[in-house]
């Protein structure tokens, strides 16, 4: 990687970790999905459009992961295209602003802005599903909380893969899964979370949605593995959403690591999880249309 001599050591390190993360996430594009660059809510975005769509008006809004400091629609394109293909849905993947340059709530504002623009473009809320992994799952929840506060209609549903929901890192699995999680130790998450928060109270609802009231939320699908520090971020979220009368489907995969779905090329467990997400998306859109 070539870096500018004008960059500081910290800026160079930030660029390098982002390049490395995109390389780690990169997957081949499946046949039958074309991509187009666009702008949504004032942010660059990538559209992924499958050849066959039964519902051409429906949209999947994808919010990528990367601990709030890494990730991009380009790096995620191959993975997101799997959902696009399996669900036969036109997808928009937004390039939200990253910390530390743009700390909380910049990414929340960008996720909300993308959702708001889909509505402003004439896409009915009941034709939209949101999805995100890890930090992206956090931003999906924060965007929906912000949308509700702004009086916007809720989408048909939301998909959360290994979502980050408690930036105070108070979930019991942060300790019980330390040493079992093959990807992270708590210290590896604490730094990026602190960069994102930049002094914000980690218990603030838009930063740690597990503390929020989810009344009026759409149907949720949550997938998580038992071998991850964030296991209880997901299970606590499911319990709290259910307590607020949200229809929640929680899938806990034994022995699976963080965002295990990215292993779909070699793991039938991961491939099956993506198939279930696609099925959820279709059912959520159908149910929402019937309620309209």
Q: Coil, helix or strand for 224?
A: strand
For residue 272, indicate whether it is catalytic.
Answer: no
Q: How far apart are CA 285 and CA 263, in angstroms?
A: 26
**Catalytic site residue from 88, 93, 127, 134:** 134
Q: Which residues have C-beta within 8 Å of that of residue 213, sequence separation ≥ 6? A: 244
* In the chain, alpha helices (H): 9-25, 73-87, 106-120, 135-149, 173-176, 186-197, 231-243, 268-291
Closest CA to 67 of 244, 189, 202: 189
For residue 228, indicate whether it is catalytic.
Answer: yes
Q: What is the DSSP string of 38-104?
A: EEETTEEEEEEEES--S-TT-EEEEE--STTTS--HHHHHHHHHHHHHHHT-EEEEE----TTTS-T
If one counts every other C-beta atom within 10 angstroms of the C-beta of residue 267, the result is: 14
How large is the C-alpha radius of gyration of the chain? 18
For residue 54, indicate whether it is catalytic.
Answer: no
Q: How far apart are CA 83 and CA 277, in angstroms?
A: 8
CA 131 to chain centroid, in Å, comes to 5
Instruction: Give the single-character DSSP code of 267.
Output: -
Q: Which residues have C-beta within 8 Å of that of residue 80, sequence separation ≥ 6? A: 48, 62, 64, 73, 91, 93
Q: How far apart are CA 196 and CA 102, in angstroms?
A: 8
**Catalytic site residue from 64, 208, 258, 288:** 258
Place of tokens 């990538």: 46
Active-site amino acid positions: 134, 228, 258
């Amino acid at each position: 990687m070539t870096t500018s001599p004008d960059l500081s050591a910290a800026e160079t390190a930030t660029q390098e970790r982002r390049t490395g993360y995109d390389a780690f996430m990169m997957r081949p594009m499946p046949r039958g999905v074309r991509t187009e660059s666009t702008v949504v809510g004032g942010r660059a975005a990538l559209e992924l459009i499958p050849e066959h769509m039964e519902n051409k008006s429906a949209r999947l809004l994808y919010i990528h992961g990367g601990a709030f400091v890494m990730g991009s629609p380009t790096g995620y394109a191959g993975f997101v295209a799997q959902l696009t293909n399996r669900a036969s849905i036109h997808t928009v993947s937004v390039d939200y602003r990253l910390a530390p340059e743009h700390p909380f709530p910049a990414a929340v504002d960008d996720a909300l802005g993308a959702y708001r623009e889909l509505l402003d473009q004439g896409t009915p809320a009941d034709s939209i599903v949101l999805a995100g992994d890890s930090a992206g799952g956090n931003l999906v929840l924060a965007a929906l909380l912000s949308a509700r506060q702004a009086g916007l209609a809720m989408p048909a549903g939301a998909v959360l893969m290994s979502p980050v929901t408690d930036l105070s890192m108070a979930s019991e699995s942060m300790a019980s899964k330390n040493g079992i999680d093959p990807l992270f130790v708590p210290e590896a998450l604490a730094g990026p979370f602190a960069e994102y928060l930049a002094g914000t109270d980690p218990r603030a609802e838009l930063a740690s949605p597990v503390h929020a009231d989810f009344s009026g939320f759409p149907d949720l699908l949550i997938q998580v593995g038992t071998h991850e520090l964030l296991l209880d971020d997901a299970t606590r979220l499911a319990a709290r959403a259910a307590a607020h009368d949200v229809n929640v489907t929680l899938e806990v995969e034994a022995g699976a690591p963080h965002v295990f779905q990215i292993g779909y090329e070699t793991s039938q467990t991961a491939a099956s999880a993506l198939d279930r997400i696609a099925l959820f998306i279709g059912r959520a859109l159908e149910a929402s249309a019937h309620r309209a």
